[in-house]
């Protein structure tokens, strides 16, 4: 039934030629650069790592967890057409090894040149804003281009370019943070963990959301547009790539520059410095969020159009297609399924959404490149089978399609969110959203009604802040000083 709807061919198309990565010149170039980068990092930072093993391990764990959190956010943004894990690991390796190793040398050289051309006071104030963006954004941009050369078939939307760039940026960002931690420990002439924690607070907590991942994501969006929009004039495509690079460079320049910082720190001391960081970081992050908004909307429309074209309520009814639009709509559908059918309903809706998104992605690739049909049809068949399985599990619960209806705001929902926020001050506050969620969900299930999704929001906030509270108390001042 489902296969006939999609009109699978009676005669299988000839198999596409298998491309082995090791036969591609770009792969060998990448492997050589990775090797060179590793050697460079060992030569530059090996002695410091040997003398300070405990701080190095502590910094690696802290910023590894920080990077994992950023990756979790990006994977949620990349839900509709997720990139292969191997490709994302390649992006991390370029940013963390190739770009970082070469940036160290390049920044030293640039600083030497600026010192010869301008007064020392100017270089001290504006040097980081000139050297860092110029050298580092070029190196990271080359990584994005290398990824496209290695896996052109994986670049199907501007959102893919955002993800490519962001992962390159995360690799660079977290390795650079570890390097800064080692430098802080060496500068303090101690083997204690205090300097590492200070670097984590400054570069991880206060600036981690608008650092290199954001700069490179902006660049990646411009490059992806230039590669994908072949119907546009070449001048427009080149302008888009240039604008993307200038945008990423400008964001990096703004962050490294003394703009806002001098005035606010002079007026408010440390508090003014934090305010200037929030102002600059807010501007940078807002620019990327605008790009992501339009990129995700374009990606959703492309995928949704293929699901609408099927016109099959057993595969993708209108409610299901609309639920795929945003992370919020998907989460509301899962929450309503949980209220109606418990964890079994949530798991079935989650599996249904994943399968429908995978199906749409396969159909888009077949439509764009019919020559890949023999490669995509097994994925189509697998997605259809998973959709059927999810439907079979939803049937006994009484759920026919994703329901994104939001319940009315209730005092219990607001109180749950307040209790979640209060968890940062006392871990016992987590009991508030837990008790309220259990109580109100049971009542809604008995009455066959919706439950306020803010109950879930409060619970998630509480769990996240409980982890933060435990982390701060697990690494107390007496342990890191």
Question: Number of H helices and number of E strands within the chain?
Answer: 18, 0
157 with 299: CB under 8 angstroms?
yes
324 with 303: CB under 8 angstroms?
yes
For the residues 33-53, what does the mean pLDDT come to? 86
Task: Give the separation between CA 258 and CA 128, rounded to whole angstroms.
Answer: 10
> What percentage of the chain exceeds 90 in pLDDT?
53
Q: What pLDDT sits at residue 349?
A: 94
DSSP 119-132: -HHHHHHHHHHHHH
Helix (H, G, I), strand (E, B) or coil at 409: coil
Q: Which residues contact 412 (CB under 8 A, 6 or more apart)?
A: 436, 439, 440, 452, 455
Q: What pLDDT sits at residue 12?
A: 45
**pLDDT confidence of 269, banded at 50, 70, 90?**
low
CB atoms within 10 A of CB 223: 24
- List, for residues 407-434, the tens digit of each pLDDT value: 888 999 999 999 999 998 899 999 999 9
Q: What pLDDT sits at residue 6?
A: 53
Q: Which residues contact 187 (CB under 8 A, 6 or more apart)?
A: 195
Quick one: tokens of 403? 């329901």
For the residues 110-117, what does the mean pLDDT come to? 92
For the residues 15-44, what does the mean pLDDT come to? 75
Whether 45 has a pLDDT exceeding 70, the answer reads yes
458 with 411: CB under 8 angstroms?
no
Q: What pLDDT sits at residue 407?
A: 85
**pLDDT confidence of 311, banded at 50, 70, 90?**
confident
**pLDDT confidence of 23, banded at 50, 70, 90?**
low
Q: What pLDDT sits at residue 476?
A: 52
Q: What pLDDT sits at residue 272?
A: 74
The set of long-range contacts for 416-420, using a CB threshold of 8 Å and a minimum separation of 24, is 416/454, 416/455, 416/457, 416/458, 416/459, 417/454, 417/457, 417/458, 417/461, 418/458, 419/458, 419/462, 420/457, 420/458, 420/459, 420/460, 420/461, 420/462, 420/463, 420/465
Whether 261 has a pLDDT exceeding 80, the answer reads no
Count, residues in the chain: 481
Which residue has 């990096």 as its token pair?
Answer: 252
Whether 1 has a pLDDT exceeding 70, the answer reads no
> What percentage of the chain exceeds 70 in pLDDT?
90
In this predicted model, which residue has the larger pLDDT, 10 or 461? Answer: 461
Task: Give the separation between CA 185 and CA 188, rounded to whole angstroms.
Answer: 5
Q: What pLDDT sits at residue 247?
A: 96
The overall average pLDDT reported for the chain is 86
215 with 253: CB under 8 angstroms?
no
Task: Give the separation between CA 80 and CA 354, rounded to whole angstroms.
Answer: 8
- List, for residues 2-12, the tens digit of each pLDDT value: 444 455 444 44
Of 219, 241, 347, 351, give the one whose Cα is nearest residue 287. 219
Q: What pLDDT sits at residue 324?
A: 92
**pLDDT confidence of 437, banded at 50, 70, 90?**
very high
Task: Give the separation between CA 253 and CA 207, rounded to whole angstroms.
Answer: 14
Q: What pLDDT sits at residue 475?
A: 54
- List, for residues 211-242, the tens digit of each pLDDT value: 999 999 999 999 999 999 988 999 999 999 99
DSSP 151-173: -GGG--SHHHHHHHHHHHHHHHH
Task: Give the separation between CA 464 and CA 457, rounded to whole angstroms.
Answer: 11
For the residues 69-87, what does the mean pLDDT come to? 91
The domain ranges of the chain are: 20-306, 312-397, 411-480
Q: Say which range, 10-24, 43-57, 70-84, 316-330, has the weakest mean pLDDT.
A: 10-24
Which residue has 């001048």 as its token pair?
Answer: 235
Q: How far is CA 116 from the centre of its chain?
A: 40
Quick one: tokens of 306? 């293929």
**pLDDT confidence of 266, banded at 50, 70, 90?**
low
Q: How far is CA 377 from the centre of its chain?
A: 29
Whether 157 has a pLDDT exceeding 60, the answer reads yes
For the whole model, what pTM was predicted? Answer: 0.85
Quick one: tokens of 382? 């697998």
Q: What pLDDT sits at residue 480?
A: 40
CB atoms within 10 A of CB 407: 19
Whether 101 has a pLDDT exceeding 80, the answer reads yes
Quick one: tokens of 433? 């959203």
In this predicted model, which residue has the larger pLDDT, 22 or 25? Answer: 25
Of 417, 407, 386, 405, give the one whose Cα is nearest residue 329. 405
Report residue 399: phi and psi, to 5°.
-105, 120
Task: Give the separation between CA 39 and CA 42, rounded to whole angstroms.
Answer: 5
DSSP 300-352: HHHHHHHHHHH--TTT--HHHHHHTS-HHHHHHHHHHHHHHHHHHHHHHHHHH
In this predicted model, which residue has the larger pLDDT, 477 or 157? Answer: 157
- List, for residues 365-414, the tens digit of each pLDDT value: 888 777 666 777 888 889 999 999 999 998 888 888 888 888 888 999 99
- List, for residues 135-144, the tens digit of each pLDDT value: 999 999 999 9
């Amino acid at each position: 039934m489902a296969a006939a709807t999609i009109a699978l061919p009676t005669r299988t198309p000839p198999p596409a030629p298998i491309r082995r990565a090791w036969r591609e010149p770009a792969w060998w170039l990448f492997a050589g650069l990775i090797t060179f980068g590793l050697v460079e990092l060992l030569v530059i930072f090996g002695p410091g790592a040997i003398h300070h093993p405990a701080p190095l391990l502590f910094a690696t764990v802290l910023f590894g967890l920080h990077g994992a959190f950023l990756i979790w956010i990006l994977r949620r943004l990349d839900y509709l057409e997720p990139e292969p894990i191997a490709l994302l690991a390649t992006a991390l390796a370029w940013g963390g090894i190739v770009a970082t190793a070469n940036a160290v040398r390049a920044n030293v050289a640039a600083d030497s040149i600026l010192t010869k051309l301008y007064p020392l006071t100017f270089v001290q104030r504006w040097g980081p804003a000139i050297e860092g963006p110029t050298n580092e954004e070029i190196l990271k941009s080359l990584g994005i281009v290398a990824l496209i050369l290695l896996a052109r078939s994986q670049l199907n939307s501007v959102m893919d370019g955002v993800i490519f760039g962001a992962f390159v940026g995360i690799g660079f960002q977290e390795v650079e943070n570890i390097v800064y931690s080692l430098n802080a420990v060496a500068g303090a002439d101690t083997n204690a963990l205090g300097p590492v924690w200070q670097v984590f607070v400054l570069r991880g907590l206060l600036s981690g959301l608008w650092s290199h991942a954001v700069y490179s994501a902006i660049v990646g969006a411009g490059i992806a547009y230039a590669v994908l929009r072949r119907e546009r004039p070449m001048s427009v495509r080149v302008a888009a790539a240039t604008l993307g690079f200038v945008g990423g460079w400008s964001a990096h320049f703004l962050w490294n520059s003394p703009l806002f910082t001098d005035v606010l720190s002079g007026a408010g001391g440390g508090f003014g410095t934090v305010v200037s960081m929030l102002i600059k970081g807010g501007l940078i992050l807002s620019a990327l969020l605008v790009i992501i908004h339009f990129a995700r909307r374009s990606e959703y429309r492309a995928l949704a159009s293929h699901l609408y074209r099927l016109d099959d309520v057993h595969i993708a009814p209108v409610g299901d297609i609309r639920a795929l639009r945003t992370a919020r709509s998907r989460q509301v559908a899962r929450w309503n399924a949980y209220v109606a059918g418990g964890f079994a309903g949530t798991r079935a809706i989650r599996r249904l959404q994943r399968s429908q998104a995978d199906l749409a992605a396969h159909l888009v690739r077949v439509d764009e490149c019919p020559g890949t049909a023999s490669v995509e049809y097994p994925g189509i068949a697998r997605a259809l089978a998973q959709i059927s399985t999810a439907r079979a599990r939803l049937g006994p619960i009484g759920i026919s399609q994703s329901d994104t209806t939001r319940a009315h705001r209730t005092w219990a929902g607001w109180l749950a969110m307040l209790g979640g926020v209060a968890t940062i001050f006392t871990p016992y506050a987590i009991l508030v959203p837990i008790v309220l969620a259990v109580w109100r969900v049971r009542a809604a299930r008995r009455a066959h009604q919706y439950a306020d999704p803010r109950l879930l929001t409060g619970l998630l906030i509480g769990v996240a802040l409980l982890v933060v509270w435990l982390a701060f108390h697990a690494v107390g001042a007496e342990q890191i000083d």
